[in-house]
């Protein structure tokens, strides 16, 4: 399992990237995709995820849309045009950081 400190520092990047590749997702779906893509090494709680989603929304990077699914309201998140630009920028930053870490430790 990946330490919480590392997840916390990169969660915004993960969410932006997921929403760039899967344009419309709801919270539980995000946790499940991260769990699946990390082979179970990233176990994300809603307490960690929702503050990030709300912050990204407040910053104008995400928009929400609700749908009734099986008589339950489901809130979907997607990137705004500003969010798409920010996602590209953040991914570039993250790649640069990962390359730096590789150079420092390997």
| Domain extent listing, the chain | 4-105
Q: What is the pLDDT of residues 36-88, one digit of tens each?
A: 999 999 999 999 999 999 999 999 999 999 999 899 999 999 999 999 999 99
CATH level 2 (architecture), domain 4-105 = Orthogonal Bundle (1.10)
State the pLDDT at residue 1: 79
Q: Which residues, other chains included, contact 16 with Cβ-Cβ below 8 Å and sequence gap of 6+?
A: 56, 61, 79, 83, 86, 87, 90, 91
pTM: 0.90
State the pLDDT at residue 92: 95
What three-state secondary structure class fits 9?
helix
């Amino acid at each position: 399992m990946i330490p919480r400190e590392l997840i916390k520092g990169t969660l915004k990047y993960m969410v932006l990237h997921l929403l760039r590749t899967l344009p419309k997702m709801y919270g539980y779906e995000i946790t499940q995709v991260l769990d699946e893509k990390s082979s179970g090494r990233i176990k994300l709680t809603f307490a960690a995820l929702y503050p990030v989603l709300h912050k990204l929304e407040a910053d104008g990077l995400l928009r929400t849309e609700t749908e009734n699914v099986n008589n339950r309201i489901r809130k979907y998140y997607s990137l705004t045009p500003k969010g798409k630009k920010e996602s590209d920028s953040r991914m570039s930053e993250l790649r640069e950081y990962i390359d730096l870490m590789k150079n420092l430790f390997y």
